[in-house]
Structure 1
Amino acid sequence: MAPIRENRTQQEASTMLRPVIAGIDGSPESLAAAGWAAREAQRRGVALRLVHAWARPPALSAALPSTAGQRHWAQRILREAHDHLGALYPQLPVEEAQSEGPAPAVLLGASRDAGLLVLGSRGLSGSTGYLAGSAALHLTVRSTTPVVLVRAGEHADDAHLLNAEGRSSTATPYRDIVLGVDLAHPCDEAVEFAFASAWSRGAALRVLHGYRRPPISATGPGAADGTEVMAQHESALDALVQPWRRKYPQTTVTTAVRRGRAQSLLLHAASGAGLLVLGRGDGLGPGPRTWPVIHAAVHHARCPTAVVPHA
């Protein structure tokens, strides 16, 4: 891992002052995402910006003006979300923005000056909102801003442990944050995001790396045995995490190396987590190793999932 740059603190401060953006389309997923985004904006001390994109019906000519009905519908969706969040979080500055155009393009443009983009995730709910499914996946793999996907039905107390009576409660500590790491292509930005998220919540952080069994050709004479391979991965993971432990000494951190499919390992680890964090490529989309993991998390993770691009 490269040393933490001295100017990173200044960059982080600039990022943390940027608003949190939530894409709104009226679906249950997008409303749950807006609630999650509001809570995150409060933790960061920044404004929440609700963004809605609407497209002209195909039958209309591009030369014709946009219809009043479309604008009214967009304003209604934004106003209802604004009023709902305003009642829950009265001290939070909430902004509204609407624009004509395809949702992915509008949100990609809006997120360029944001610290975080939060979207509804279709997951296993079967929603047909235009920000769910393929549109959300497109934004996740193309955005240069971290993206968090939130499933329908997500509430504030879901991020917390159950209380002594086995009930959901915001009075209990936060659930763990889970960070998935690919040691072959580590993403410092994802590690930083995970540590900062855990620190802001007072949550524990679990860092997980999964690896597959070496091919038969690599297990001949002179090759490292299974115990040695495991030790090598554990040493590399500890080395990756160590500088961040020093930067966030108050955060409880555990590391684990497991042999198996990364997708299965991470989904299992995140089953009781408050947030799953994954790194992504070089800003142009995920690579062949990270794509299956991101795809699995987007569609099957029960907790909110953050996908953080490598700068």
Structure 2
Amino acid sequence: MKRTLVVGVDGSPESRAAADWAAREAVRRDLPLRVVHAWLWQPLAYPLAQNRDAEARLAEDILKETEGDLSHRYPGLTLTAEVLAELPVPALLRAAEDAEMLALGTRGHGALAGFLLGSYGQQVIAAAKCPVVSVRSAHGRPVALPEQGEVVVGQQGGVADSSEVLRFAFEAAAAADAPLRAVRAWNSPPVYGYSLGPMWSADQFGGLEPYEKAALEQALEPWRLKYPEVEVVEHVEQGGGGHVLLTAASDARLLVVGRRVRESSVGVRVGSVAHAVLHHSVCPVAVVPHP
């Protein structure tokens, strides 16, 4: 049974852009697309006129409009659409449990207030079990989605650390017949951070930069063998991870970063690099959970 690609919509231009991105990606990957809208009747505690039937019809209309638009522009797409009777965050997380990926508009603010607002999107990205793709807007308008350009992926740590992130990036590049730019950012450790083990390892490669290049090559090797058709550009640069990735992805079609699955004392987090690119990248950003 094929896994589905899920997109959350709320009727806003941003969520429509996310739905369009998801539809194109589903066609490329030959996956069914599931369009969902979270709506739960919640009587307000303060005096304000509410009409449950009208709001329910509006939720259905949002789905019908999205479904009709996508079916018209992507006639070969297998498509389903449904209203989820839950609050937004748990509804999206539940929908994404068995999904190949989940797509969201970054700053949706449609007629039903509060569906894909930034805080909700961040909660979903931080807790989802599958990769989440954020299609962002600029000044309240969805940005033009690039159909050309590279898939850019941030690689860090060792082979096991980046396996899931690189798998997703290579799959995306292969599906789009696009080149892949693998980026590894590094900084010189502070004086008090030097230790004999890491510095000895770096010395064996002739310094820190050759060591970082070798680490990137090692992480890429199994995926190059699995996807020989994907053209790979290796990019090792000194600097902060967020800044290096944003510069490398200035003309990209997709930027892929990882999110370590762990909880801190303040709950789940997306990590500093993912947080930076989610807020500043112009192209869609895929956040991939990994151990």
TM-score calculated relative to the size of structure 2: 0.85
| CA-CA distance at 1:129 after TM superposition | 5.6
1:143·1:283 contact (CA, 8 Å) conserved in 2? no
1:144·1:283 contact (CA, 8 Å) conserved in 2? no
Residue in structure 1 matched with residue 182 of structure 2 by the alignment: 207
Out of 279, 282, 287, the residue aligned to residue 299 of structure 1 is: 279
Out of 182, 186, 205, the residue aligned to residue 161 of structure 2 is: 186
Structure 1 residues 29 and 283: alpha-carbon distance in aligned structure 2, compared to 1, 3 A threshold: farther
Over residues 133-175 of structure 1, what are the superposed CA-to-partner deviations in whole Å (9 max), with x where a residue is unaligned? 111111111000111011243456x222xxxxxxxxxxxxxx1
Matches of 1:220 and 1:310, distance apart in 2: 27
1:25·1:77 contact (CA, 8 Å) conserved in 2? yes
SS of 2:234 mapped into structure 1? strand
Residue in structure 2 matched with residue 63 of structure 1 by the alignment: none
1:243 matches 2:222: yes
Moved over 4 A (4+): 218-227, 287-290
Out of 264, 287, 301, the residue aligned to residue 243 of structure 2 is: 264
Matches of 1:34 and 1:267, distance apart in 2: 24
1:77 matches 2:62: yes
2:126·2:270 contact (CA, 8 Å) conserved in 1? no
Counterparts in 2 of 1:222-237, with a 5 A limit?
Answer: 228-237=207-216
Out of 64, 67, 71, the residue aligned to residue 86 of structure 1 is: 71
| CA-CA distance at 1:300 after TM superposition | 0.8
Matches of 1:179 and 1:58, distance apart in 2: 44
Structure 1 residues 133 and 295: alpha-carbon distance in aligned structure 2, compared to 1, 3 A threshold: same
Matches of 1:221 and 1:291, distance apart in 2: 28
2:152·2:183 contact (CA, 8 Å) conserved in 1? yes
Over residues 174-206 of structure 1, what are the superposed CA-to-partner deviations in whole Å (9 max), with x where a residue is unaligned? x10000011257231110010011111111101
Unaligned runs of 5+ in 1: 1-13, 61-65, 161-174
Counterparts in 2 of 1:1-311, with a 5 A limit?
Answer: 17-59=2-44, 67-122=52-107, 130-152=115-137, 153-155=142-144, 158-160=146-148, 175-183=149-157, 186-218=161-193, 228-282=207-261, 291-310=271-290
TM-score calculated relative to the size of structure 1: 0.80
Moved more, 184-193 or 20-29: 184-193
Moved more, 246-255 or 129-138: 129-138
Moved more, 106-115 or 212-221: 212-221
Letter paired with 2:12: S
SS of 1:238 mapped into structure 2? helix
SS of 2:178 mapped into structure 1? coil
Matches of 2:93 and 2:196, distance apart in 1: 52
Residue in structure 2 matched with residue 168 of structure 1 by the alignment: none
Moved more, 219-228 or 93-102: 219-228
Matches of 1:289 and 1:210, distance apart in 2: 21
Matches of 2:68 and 2:181, distance apart in 1: 36
Residue in structure 2 matched with residue 164 of structure 1 by the alignment: none
SS of 2:105 mapped into structure 1? strand
Matches of 2:227 and 2:249, distance apart in 1: 22
Matches of 2:195 and 2:130, distance apart in 1: 44
Over residues 195-226 of structure 1, what are the superposed CA-to-partner deviations in whole Å (9 max), with x where a residue is unaligned? 01111111110100111221113469995679
